[in-house]
């Protein structure tokens, strides 16, 4: 029997395939817009400028100061640039940081957003915005935040460095792993989760050896779209709470943190959510925690929080924050068990 469910489907237009970057102009016009502000990080400035050049009069400016965790000060500066240029829509070219900036602007002025996603983080298909001000990260969910159009052009991901491809891919998988046991999951979100993880598992193995393999890049982007869609549809649990705590309060890098914590958080919930996790566990040899740990290791992912900037003396504080106002989780949140999880993730030990 199919369990009862409620499924709120996010609207959106997805354009997928090599060369889709070329249709940004058509999409601006399709939205009835005429003057786009192009967004990127400083690192991708040359790409966003090239896109602006190609768009000609449809692009009225480039704002290339997007930064991790969407600082409000940057958003306010970007809104000034948007207004000064007389822009009427946004084109975000990049990963979660650039997409976050576009969402933060749109949340405030309701500008239509076209996103050209170049990492696997999945933010482009969620109505969620995390932003930081005075060192505090807050999250908002609003339909104005969800981008109207998402373009996935695998050719743009070929240059994504292997290390980032791996951690970003594991970040995407984390959405799916938490998605299968989400309290508000539904049969479609679970299908997307399993298919997304399978696609990323298969493609990342190829990408680490052949980063310019377009078929693998395409499959990874497909998997990240599915995993991101899961994040946009259902609630997240302990894993995301831990990563939000480590990123928001301890400034650890986003994708690496997800990559390190995932095997441990999955193992924490392995028994309580055994049935829901079963199809994913099978993809990794039967045990979700060990399987993900070995998989991440085989890709050369970082595996210890101590290697990405967390001090052992901070672990108690992380545990305190992570168990405070916890997200719903299939296994009860026990501070001792969470502290022990953190200790192992800090040291780079196998999950328990």
By CB under 6 A, name the binding residues for ligand NAD: 41, 43-44, 68-69, 94-98, 100, 118-119, 121-123, 126, 128-130, 156-157, 159-160, 164, 168, 231, 254-255
What 3-state class would DSSP assign to 344? helix
Q: What span, in angstroms and rounded, lies between the C-alpha atoms of 285 and 128?
A: 33
CB of 126 to ligand NAD, least distance (A): 4
Phi and psi dihedrals of 264, rounded to 5? -75, -45
The candidate with the shortest Cα–Cα distance to 112, out of 61, 63, 147, 81, is 147
CB of 254 to ligand NAD, least distance (A): 4
Do residues 269 and 237 make contact, with C-beta atoms less than 8 angstroms apart?
A: yes
Torsion of CA 95, 100, 105, 106, to 10 degrees: 90
The single-letter DSSP state of residue 159 is T
CB of 164 to ligand NAD, least distance (A): 6
CB closest to ligand NAD, residue no: 96
Nearer to ligand NAD, 88 or 120 (CB): 120
The token pair at 59 is: 């692009």
CB of 274 to ligand NAD, least distance (A): 27
CB of 275 to ligand NAD, least distance (A): 27
The token pair at 127 is: 């109505």
113-117 and 89-94 as β-strands: parallel, antiparallel, unpaired?
A: parallel
CB of 82 to ligand NAD, least distance (A): 20
CB of 260 to ligand NAD, least distance (A): 14
CB of 66 to ligand NAD, least distance (A): 7
Evaluated on CA atoms 343, 346, 350, 352, the torsion sign reads positive
Q: What span, in angstroms and rounded, lies between the C-alpha atoms of 146 and 127?
A: 4
Nearer to ligand NAD, 68 or 337 (CB): 68
The single-letter DSSP state of residue 42 is S
Q: What span, in angstroms and rounded, lies between the C-alpha atoms of 242 and 249?
A: 10
Q: CB within 8 A of 179, min separation 6: which ones? A: 185, 189, 190, 192, 193, 227, 230, 231, 233, 234, 236
The candidate with the shortest Cα–Cα distance to 27, out of 197, 139, 150, is 150
CB of 239 to ligand NAD, least distance (A): 13
The candidate with the shortest Cα–Cα distance to 302, out of 266, 268, 259, 270, is 259
128-133 and 136-141 as β-strands: parallel, antiparallel, unpaired?
A: antiparallel
- Supply angle C-alpha 233, 182, 347, rounded to 5: 110
Phi and psi dihedrals of 89, rounded to 5? -160, 170
């Amino acid at each position: 029997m199919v369990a009862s469910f409620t499924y709120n489907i996010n609207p959106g237009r997805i354009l997928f395939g090599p060369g889709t970057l070329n249709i940004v102009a058509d999409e601006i016009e399709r939205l009835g817009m005429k003057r786009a502000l192009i967004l990127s990080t400083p690192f991708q400035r040359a790409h966003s400028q090239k896109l602006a050049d190609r768009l000609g009069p449809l692009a009225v400016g480039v704002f290339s100061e997007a930064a991790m965790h969407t600082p409000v000060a940057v958003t306010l500066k970007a809104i000034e640039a948007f207004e000064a240029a007389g822009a009427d829509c946004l084109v975000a070219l990049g990963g979660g940081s650039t997409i976050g900036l576009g969402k933060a602007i749109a949340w405030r002025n309701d500008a239509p957003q076209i996103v050209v996603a170049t990492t696997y983080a999945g933010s482009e298909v969620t109505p969620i915005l995390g932003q930081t001000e005075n060192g505090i990260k807050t999250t908002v969910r609003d339909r104005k935040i969800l981008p109207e159009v998402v373009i996935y052009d695998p050719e743009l991901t070929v240059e994504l460095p292997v290390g980032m491809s791996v951690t970003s891919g594991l970040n995407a998988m984390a959405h799916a792993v938490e998605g299968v046991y989400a309290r508000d999951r539904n049969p479609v979100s679970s299908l997307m989760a399993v298919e997304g993880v399978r696609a990323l598992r298969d493609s990342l193995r190829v990408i680490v050896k052949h980063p310019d393999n377009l078929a693998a890049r395409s499959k990874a982007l497909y998997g990240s779209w599915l995993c991101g869609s899961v994040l946009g549809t259902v609630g997240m649990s302990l894993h995301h709470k831990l990563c939000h705590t480590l990123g928001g309060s301890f400034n650890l890098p986003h994708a690496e943190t997800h990559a390190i914590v995932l095997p441990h958080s999955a193992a924490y919930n392995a028994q309580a959510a055994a049935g829901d996790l079963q199809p994913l566990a099978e993809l990794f040899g039967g045990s979700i925690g060990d399987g993900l740990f070995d998989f991440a290791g085989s890709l050369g992912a970082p595996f210890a929080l101590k290697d990405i900037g967390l001090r052992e003396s901070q672990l108690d504080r992380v545990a305190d924050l992570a168990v405070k106002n916890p997200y719903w989780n299939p296994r009860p949140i026990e501070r001792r068990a969470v502290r022990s999880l953190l200790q192992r993730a800090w040291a780079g030990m196998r999950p328990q």
